[in-house]
Structure 1
Amino acid sequence: MSQKQELHAMVEARQEEMAADLMEMSRIPAVNPRMNGKGEYARMQWIQAYLEKYGIPYDVISVPDEAAPEGVRLNLTVKLPGTEDTERTLWLIGHVDTVNSGDLENWNTDPFSPERIGGRIYGLGVEDNSQAVITALHTCRLVVENKIQAKCNLGFIFASDEETGSAYGLHALLDHGVFSPKDEAIVPDAGSADGSFVEIAEKSQVWLKFTVTGKQAHASMPQLGVNATSAAMHLGVEIEDMLKREFAEEDPLFNPPYSTFELTQKFANVDSPNVLPGKDIFVMDLRILPCYTVDQVMDRIHAVIEKYEKEREGIQIQVEFITRVDAPDPTPSDSDIVTRLVASIRESGVDAYYGGIGGGTCGAILRAHHIPAAVWSTLDELAHQPNEYVVVENLVKDTKVYISTILKYC
């Protein structure tokens, strides 16, 4: 039996342990502080205890954040030295924070108490991104326990704050000097149900918050006020239609192959149905193909805003970025991480291919710093949805692929 076969057999034998670890960790709430949660601090402590239990050395990088109850966000890194090229690290990166559960009425189980039903585990964040955290932990354990040394360093990151832009997570790690220019990374934060899709490119990701201000009045006397909600509704629809019409190019590398512009979040305005709103706030989600710049899109949005302010007396409109990630250059399809990861997936019997997505993973942040990143996982793409689940068998599949890829660096 080859070394790879022996390691794969070890992974298969740990399926139930991996499932139990995922459920135990996922019982600890980790909703991002900017999504009305307390953050991932307690879950990070669980990961620290796990690493200590198995004698795995790690570093803690703390980032001050007043939004967290502890006043700080934690990031954990493990770095296992290579035999030759110690200026280069292959990273496996998972994020620990989750989004909010949303309306609990839409869940068939308690999202904060993971439940195993058949071959699935249901719960908030189990796919996004507990699956990555647990598979990374077990990959790390197997490497340490079997004294595997690659030619380059092997690194594992358990990051904070991915769900609201990574300012207290991956961006802080970059500022801290964790990465070097020769590094590469696997980011298990997107994928496909059969594990065939390797993401190497992302669209620009923009969240825009529009604040429309008018004048409040009684709804029966609209002439005494300026209806901010009416203006906001018309404005949002006109901007959405204009963007879809004018930025309609397609790129077959991406799925979907076009830019997306969607009205999403709507803030409460008034507390009574007979009040003419004096302020209305809404959000748009924009995922823009790299053939367009964010500035090009914003120029057209500002043009529509200016028209509304001129045509609608008493209306003022402010637009601000909640999130802005300009699309970096894709990871080269012939880079080591892409060719070796794709080869490992194909060796598992899956016909792997690469392409682009709408954006929103840590991969784009790394690519912006010229660090090749391949985003991959085997999952059903249920992130941010009610009844989110992870397929237990996928924990084994992914870990085996990570082991196969690591061996290609030995």
Structure 2
Amino acid sequence: MPHALLERIDTLGPEVVALQRALVAIPALGPDNDGQGETAKAEFLERHLRALGLADILRLDAPDARVPGGLRPNILARIPGRDTSRTLWIISHIDIVPPGNPDLWHSDPYELKVDGDFLVGRGVEDNHGGIVPSLVLAKALLDAGATAPMNLGLLFVADEETGSAYGLGHVVAEHAEQFGPDDLFLVPDFGVADSSLMEVAEKSMLWLKVEVFGRQCHASTPEQGLNSLVAAADFILRTRRLHQEFPAVDPLFSPAHSTFSPTRKDANVPNVNTIPGHDVLYVDCRVLPQYAVADVLDAFGRIASEIEAEHGVRVACSPMQAEQAAPATPVDSEIVRRLSAAIEAVYGVTPAPAGIGGGTVAAILRRAGRDAVVWSTCEHFAHQPNERSRISTQLGDAKVMARVLFA
């Protein structure tokens, strides 16, 4: 491990701030989030890569007629190593989520605020916390004149926040030739504040929309209607039994069991004195990989039939999103071993492989037969107002990436 490389990373705190300031100022919202796409931010990143001196840069854009220019950008860049047949890929996403209620922000979400070691602004953690350390590593590598044992590959993808069909999903489906059989994959998009969590598995995901169709009437004569709200409430209460129908526990995950959480409830009637005839609710399910999503859907179907029989309403269940869990990355795989040693060397903690309930682009790689690990040092302010990250941990994460590359 070249010490000059680590020493150079230590000097790049101002580079972290400058990159974050530039990135925060460029909103990159996909059309599903009422945005214009990620092109402006991608163009900044491409200019920055060329200014660093990288020559091997490809655009692997996905067509999308909903955005100006009709393309969703994906940028691939490589710095050659001694063994050009292998690449360590660091995969970050360009898009962000909307800031939400501006009254909850203490500063402009699109203007970087520096507060000591903290950086505040939309995207500073999710996912500039992955983009910036990888760019810091690239700059330090070139500045130090170091040649790594294998290629360093940087991949910046679109559309992670709304499904990845135009991002890594497109890249893997249409440009799989860019990846070698012995490549390594690191996705810096989830972690904990003490750097110890390495995500190697994800639960299956089901977002279910439930519509209850009753009959509206005046609240003074409820017997003339079919109260969809009462039926919807009964449906919600019956979802609790799914924990008994799918009871398995896997300590790799936290929580270790499957979860079935009623979340959103749409408005029905606007006034108090009307019995509603139509209600819409949603359930978020994170299911352990050994269970089939189809079996969970069948269980909801049985609940729907019971509600129809008891309340005389009609119930329609439709999945908004249904993803069967990808195979887990083996805990003894090369990328896990390299990353574990690097985290311990930089942060002095013993890392632990773990599974999560959320979804990341690593699932796309795992379904394609690739061993991928999701890791970064996170303050867990993603998607929140006053999103924040640390300068120090972005430098530390760049050092971890360097140690993985040179292991």
TM-score, length of structure 1 as denominator length: 0.91
Residue equivalent to 2:268: 269
What are the residue-to-residue correspondences of 1:186-225 with 2, within 5 Å?
186-225=186-225
Asked if structure 2 preserves the Cα contact closer than 8 Å seen for 1:32 and 1:100, the reply is no
What are the residue-to-residue correspondences of 1:253-402 with 2, within 5 Å?
253-313=252-312, 315-348=313-346, 349-402=348-401
CA distance in 2, matches of 1:307, 1:221: 25
1:200-244 alpha-carbon deviations (Å, 9 max, x no partner):
1111122222222333444444444433333223212322x1222
Asked if structure 2 preserves the Cα contact closer than 8 Å seen for 1:190 and 1:377, the reply is yes
Asked if structure 2 preserves the Cα contact closer than 8 Å seen for 1:73 and 1:168, the reply is yes
Deviates more, 1:196-205 or 1:56-65: 56-65
1:49 corresponds to which letter in structure 2?
Answer: R
Shift in alpha-carbon separation, 1:105–1:273, aligned structure 2, 3 A: farther
Shift in alpha-carbon separation, 1:281–1:181, aligned structure 2, 3 A: farther
1:187 corresponds to which letter in structure 2?
Answer: V
Residue equivalent to 2:95: 97
Shift in alpha-carbon separation, 1:302–1:387, aligned structure 2, 3 A: same
Matched, 1:155 2:146: no
Matched, 1:233 2:228: no
Shift in alpha-carbon separation, 1:38–1:217, aligned structure 2, 3 A: farther
What are the residue-to-residue correspondences of 1:122-133 with 2, within 5 Å?
122-133=120-131
CA distance in 2, matches of 1:44, 1:271: 44
What are the residue-to-residue correspondences of 1:51-200 with 2, within 5 Å?
51-57=49-55, 58-84=57-83, 86=85, 88-178=86-176, 179-200=179-200
1:154 corresponds to which letter in structure 2?
Answer: L
Stretches of structure 2 that go unaligned for 5 or more consecutive residues are none
1:148-195 alpha-carbon deviations (Å, 9 max, x no partner):
444443211111111122111111011112434433210011111111
CA distance in 2, matches of 1:167, 1:284: 23
Asked if structure 1 preserves the Cα contact closer than 8 Å seen for 2:89 and 2:185, the reply is yes
CA displacement at 1:370 relative to structure 2: 1.2
1:384-406 alpha-carbon deviations (Å, 9 max, x no partner):
22222101111111001111111
Stretches of structure 1 that go unaligned for 5 or more consecutive residues are none
2:114 corresponds to which letter in structure 1?
Answer: R
The alignment's C-alpha RMSD in Å is 2.1
Shift in alpha-carbon separation, 1:301–1:393, aligned structure 2, 3 A: same
Asked if structure 2 preserves the Cα contact closer than 8 Å seen for 1:4 and 1:403, the reply is no
Residue equivalent to 2:43: 45
CA distance in 2, matches of 1:363, 1:258: 21
CA displacement at 1:298 relative to structure 2: 1.6
Deviates more, 1:384-393 or 1:271-280: 271-280
Shift in alpha-carbon separation, 1:404–1:306, aligned structure 2, 3 A: same
TM-score, length of structure 2 as denominator length: 0.92
Asked if structure 2 preserves the Cα contact closer than 8 Å seen for 1:207 and 1:324, the reply is yes
CA distance in 2, matches of 1:346, 1:154: 21
CA distance in 1, matches of 2:153, 2:376: 18
Three-state SS of the structure 1 residue aligned to 2:9 is helix
